[in-house]
Structure 1
């Protein structure tokens, strides 16, 4: 019997190629969208899931309150992990993790800068790090280093690296004691070099105390431990040792498996995607798949007039209704199977573009290696088959043989449902178009904002200078180049650098009266290079005598202390790296500028003098920017330790800061195009159905003298009403969701009529073009053919 169902279903699909093609392509688009976003969601929800104890590992983080703002910070004290293990029985193990840029010496070549991860020996008891080669039963010693498989091949080739020595510019000599498998890219702790935390304590002793949040702390809780209760006790312990100004800080535990889904933590080792974004894309793709399923329903019922006689004959010769239902479900199964095969091809192509736009490394190998994914894929396929085919099966199988064979058909009670589906489809499309326009407008608004400094013709690069060249000599070499006007060094680039914050308070006052301020190191050319405005006082002296106590502050700092600009000059402050015995002195007040991204409001800022920073800004006056850049790169590469030196324009760097908005817009545009294609095919199906249902009415009207234009208007107006209803429903929802999204930005664009008028015109025009072909076909019919059987 199943074989018979299959043969008949295949013949029906083969004999109706337009119906089969439109449905299979529509369903395949929806399936492909779900496959790609489903794989994306699976990867994001399984970040760091490869660790055996992943569900019991937590990162210690903190929330810092400042007036009406609060910041989440992933960095905590460098002494915390050992104290937690010693003080709480709930802690099975704990480890500190720190990252540092160091330079590896190479024979007959310039040193190469790398980023190493420093850990306690307990790190390997908490995290699962598979080793390819390792000295048997040995813990990581102070003079040893572990390398990734990839970097081992780069440095040593096929040679056995165990026992080989790696020398660092910073004075470290380490023996290779093991080679570990490369970290998967779904890891927040990926690295190629692992050394002992001992070196951070030696190189940065000031960071290993209770007053400095500079490292990561992870704990492995016992199976019976309550993470929430432990977090409260941990918070109390930390506040016993931290300054009183930290009283408002809240220290708590963040599950390892949640780190990638909770963005916004300052100091994250790797960017986080965010649960809202992952779920949002999943929701959009599921809706697109449902729209494709609804289209199948629309098209199947639109062919009801043609299939009615077939159903009537089947029932006359003895077929039961459930047998007819099985027949139509078999058609749905075959069509969905065909669509799934096409979807796999779409997905293979789509993954390449998805990875390109997002920077991820998604691959279908994940499906093959995960039985859980394969199981849910089968369940999803059967569900879509059922959803797509169940309504047409029950609708088409209900025809009464006696009525059908007389040329009469049951009234279509499903018309309202199909119209509702079209309204839903185009409401979604309109909503997506509005959101795309809003995202683009906000991004352009941020691009056009005055940042408070001169961002044009500014080159940036970061590198260690050669040992034999000082800052002024380095700058002098660059200033000899034609078109180079100024060179400055600092610890952060303007406009997008995330700076650390500190507490500042007026000398002879308590720390409880402090303010929170961002801090930055810079040299005496920083202000002129960026075109910053000095409002009061003076700039740093070129001779460096401001190194010990001199500081520049912005207007926001002066306002926070309640001073005027002139009153601020000469004020002495403690905090940061200053003390009561050696306080800082304000020597100048500069006009507020955006040192951070426009996603953050301007905060108090303190700038200290330093000639030891590794970030450089070069002001170019040569109109031939790229030629000047090439010359600069050539000279600077000889003066620095990098083997792959490359500068970038500040404008390009700022553009990278808008990457999240740009990628969201691109992804949303992609999904919108899919929704439009599917929505238009659904509208086409409904237009075809209405044309068939009203064929005799149109024939009578034409005989009575109705013109083609009148019939065209008659058929078109009902569909345009559906599109208008879709817009009426979509626009308020778009305004509501858009305002929620805009709240993230302290500096945001405003709503303008074009954000709503453009999508409205676009949807109405697109809808009209979709139905016009069917309307013209129906209005140009021959009345004799329409009334042949009357």
Structure 2
């Protein structure tokens, strides 16, 4: 019986090969989309779940509010971890990371700039189960000046030689013995380091100060305990340790501090939640978003549903052509369930073909999808034991969704009515078909709107006045390696006619690690407006090199010897301290830190400029004058850029004693900040294109069928003098009306969704009417072109042949 069903199903697929081709193509693209997105979702959900006892691992987070300013950090002090291990019985183990930017790593004559270097406790090895290929995990990081490398890094520096016991030199003078080699950190991990240096090397590792937030701290809870039981002990620890530091450094008790509306709190984040649910400052890496996992998963599912709707619409639209078959089968004794089985077998066969073709398409498209998503997804890493049943379930769902309604609809025909020819087959259920067409184009138009809004926001970011000029700025990294030759390097390049200006400073107006300290207006350390502020240190030439503007006062000036005790602030700090324009210059502000308080004079106010992502408000900043030799930045002319870069490298080579030369354009650094948003926009574009392609395939088939069903009517109208344009309008107006309805619904839905998306940006564009207009017109044009071929073909057919065929 099943064999017969499949044989008949195959014959019907071949008989109606045009419609079968439309269905198979649409469903194949839908399956490929779901497969790729399932890979993406599975990868995102798998982050940090491969550790032993992963569910017992937590990161300790710090949050504070001072004078209305909130700080949320995925980091704590060096002292936090050891205290938790000693004083909280629920804590079984702890480990810490301390990252400190880029390093020059050397072995003999081999030197490279490395970014993926961290200092780590031995506890990190235990908590995250670093997979050792050489060395003893128990002792690898227990001594100062030891280091563990990943296998690719060991080969990079030592080739095939045994790296154990060899010495790497960091930044020209710090020697570290290699005590271990591990496998590379898996891709689905919230941190990726290649060098793990012993944290015991750092003096600050043993600092008792709780308000110095610079270590990322992890703990492992004992079996049977909960994070709530640990978090309820945090207030007591804050009172015990932070309270005395507030009194010591700011002269205020914790109770008074809290009464002013301020707070300092600690909390736990499950390690398995960090990648998709943590968006704090000082994350080790840019994390993903559960919101986008849901969004793109839903989009892929919608694309599959759109393809299934094509099958349903075309199957029910062709019901008149299958009616006599149903009538004869019923007359010969076929039961309804047998007819349902027959039509479902067609759906399953078509779905099987689509699944095979879609799987091939997914494999072929995987490299391109990786490029779009920024991932390194691979079929080799798939947990097939769970992934395969899920995908088979998707295939079964697709067959049931696509085939169930047509099967029950066709099997319900009454044989007497069918054989008498009284059945109004093809358009009987056009109300449902119309609703499904509307649903298809709601999804398609909504995706077009989303694509345009993301693009509009990216253009807004690119065109926004940043408060400085990011064009033609070249930053040379690790400038401190020049030592006493740094000033000579800068002066030599300033003699180049294509170098406009230069500045020596580590801090750049791009999101990166930031020093934050407590500042207060005036001389009263207990002032209620005291707040955490970003602290920079620059030279005299920084402001003019970056072409920043001063709202009040002046820049640091070599003619003023007192500027060593002066500061610049930004407008956000001016607002925070409630300084008026008349009084701000000459006002005093205080710095409270672990060494006491210092008072500085404000000599200038810099207009607010963006130095973080536009997702965040510009934060208050205090700028000091003084050496900060991490980078040297030059403003160059647009001409002869290659020659200038060559001159920079030549001068570096002459003065650096063989240290590697590394540079970057600031506008490239700026673009990388919004790389995720750019990728999201590209994914929206691709999926929007696929959705409207599949929807138009279905529309093409429906238009062809409609023209076929109305052949006699078209012939009569032509004989009576109807023009081709009138006939095209006749055949198209119903579908165009449906698309207009879809446009209205999609505009409302997409408008609400994108308004919420834009709300994640502190600085964003507004939803413009033209975005919706362009989306609607695009959908109408594409649909119109899709239908025009069939409509014009039907309208230009010979009416005599049309009437004879009837």
Output the CA distance in 2 between the equivalents of 1:642 and 1:562.
51
**What is the SS of the residue equivalent to 2:484?**
coil
> Deviation of residue 562 (structure 1)?
2.4
- 2:116, 2:192 within 8 Å by CA — same for their partners in 1? no
Deviation at 1:410, TM superposition (A): 4.9
Change (3 A) 1:8 1:486: same
Instruction: Tell me the equivalent position of 1:490.
Output: 505
Q: How far did residue 42 of structure 1 move?
A: 0.8
Greater mean alpha carbon deviation, residues 708-717 or residues 213-222: 708-717
Equivalent residue runs for 1:171-182 within 5 Å: 171-182=173-184
Aligned partner of 1:20 in structure 2 is 20
Distance 1:707 1:474, change over 3 A: closer
SS of corresponding position for 1:567? coil
The answer for the alignment partner of 2:42 in structure 1 is 42
CA contact (8 A) 2:58 2:219 kept: yes
Corresponding position of 1:401: 415
Aligned to 1:466: 481
Deviations along 1:286-305, whole A, 9 cap, x unmatched?
Answer: 11111111111112222222
Query: Which of 601, 615, 631 matches 1:599?
Result: 615
Q: Secondary structure at the match of 1:265?
A: coil
Matches of 1:92 and 1:454, distance apart in 2: 51
**1:468–1:491 CA distance, 2 compared to 1 (3 A):** closer
**How big is each residue's C-alpha offset from its partner over 1:595-645, in whole Å with a ceiling of 9 and x where there is no partner?**
323333222211122323312220113533343234324433554588663
- How do 1:406-425 residues align onto structure 2 when only pairs under 5 Å count? 406-411=420-425, 412-425=427-440
What is the aligned partner in structure 2 of residue 761 from structure 1? 777
How many pairs were matched up? 787
- Measured in 2, the distance between the counterparts of 1:206 and 1:464 equals 29
Q: How does 1:89-128 map to 2 (within 5 A)?
A: 89-100=89-100, 101-110=102-111, 112-113=113-114, 115-128=116-129
Q: Could you tell me how far 1:348 is from its partner in structure 2?
A: 2.0
Residues 697-712 of structure 1 aligned to structure 2 (within 5 Å):
697-702=713-718, 706-712=722-728
Q: Distance in 2 between matches of 1:390 and 1:492?
A: 63
Confirm or deny that 1:456 pairs with 2:467. no
Kindly state the Cα deviation for residue 585 of structure 1 after the two structures are TM-superposed: 3.3
Counterpart of 1:309 (choices 301, 305, 324) is: 324
Quote the offset at 1:38 in angstroms. Answer: 1.1
- 1:150 — aligned with what? 152
Cα distance in 2, alignment partners of residues 319 and 469 from structure 1: 96
Matching residue of 2:249: none
- Structure-2 residue corresponding to 1:510: 526
1:226 Cα deviation from its structure 2 partner: 2.2
| Secondary structure, aligned partner of 2:583 | helix
Q: Which residue of 2 aligns with 1:373?
A: 387
Distance 1:75 1:641 in 2: 37
In structure 2, relative to structure 1, the CA distance for the partners of 1:374 and 1:629 (3 Å cut) is same
Answer yes or no: is the 8 Å Cα contact 1:72–1:264 preserved in 2.
Answer: no
Deviation string, structure 1 residues 228-254 (Cα, Å, up to 9, x no partner): 342232244134322346842332111
Task: Summarize the Cα distance change of 1:131–1:482 in structure 2 as closer, same or farther, 3 Å threshold.
Answer: same
CA contact (8 A) 2:22 2:698 kept: no
Cα 1:629/1:136, change in 2 over 3 Å: closer
Tell me the secondary structure at the aligned position of residue 482 of structure 1.
coil
| 2:453 match | 438
Name the CA distance, whole Å, in 1 between partners of 2:386 and 2:496: 61
Give structure 1 stretches of 5+ with no counterpart. none
- The CA distance in 1 between the partners of 2:330 and 2:50, in whole Å, is 58
Q: Distance in 2 between the 1:789 and 1:406 partners?
A: 20
Distance 1:137 1:729, change over 3 A: closer
1:583 and 2:599 equivalent?
yes
**Aligned-residue offset at 1:515:** 2.4
Q: Which runs of 4+ in 1 moved over 6 A?
A: 543-547
Residues 56, 220 of structure 1: 8 Å contact kept: yes
Relative to the length of structure 2, the TM-score reads: 0.91
Q: What is the distance in 2 between the residues matched to 1:544 and 1:207?
A: 37
Instruction: Give distance in 2, aligned partners of 1:185 and 1:549.
Output: 48
Q: Post-superposition shift, 1:537?
A: 4.5
Distance 1:136 1:739 in 2: 50
Rate the CA distance shift 1:76–1:311 in 2: closer, same or farther, 3 A.
same
In 2 relative to 1, CA 167–461 (structure 1 residues): closer, same or farther, beyond 3 Å? closer
**2:194 matched to which residue of 1?**
192
Measured in 2, the distance between the counterparts of 1:217 and 1:151 equals: 25
* Alpha-carbon offset, residue 57 of structure 1: 0.7
CA RMSD after TM alignment: 2.7
**CA drift at 1:372:** 0.9
| Alignment partner, residue 290 of structure 1 | 305
Deviations 1:708-745 (A, max 9, x none): 44333222211111111111212222222222122222
Partner of 2:404: 390
Give the SS at the match of 1:184. coil
8 Å contact kept, 1:622–1:628: no
Distance 1:647 1:114, change over 3 A: closer
Aligned equivalents of 1:347, 1:141: Cα separation in 2: 47
Give the Cα–Cα distance (whole angstroms) in 1 for the partners of residues 86 and 619 of structure 2: 38
User: Conserved in 2, the CA contact under 8 Å of 1:207 and 1:214?
Assistant: no
CA distance in 2, matches of 1:429, 1:111: 49
Q: CA deviation at 1:698?
A: 4.0
114 and 530 in structure 1: CA distance in 2 versus 1, 3 angstrom threshold: closer
Q: Is the 8 A contact 1:574 1:580 kept in 2?
A: no
Structure 1 702/532 Cα, relative in aligned 2: closer, same or farther at 3 Å? closer
Give distance in 2, aligned partners of 1:518 and 1:115: 24
Q: How many angstroms apart in 2 are the aligned matches of 1:568 and 1:71?
A: 25
Q: Match for residue 87 of structure 2?
A: 87
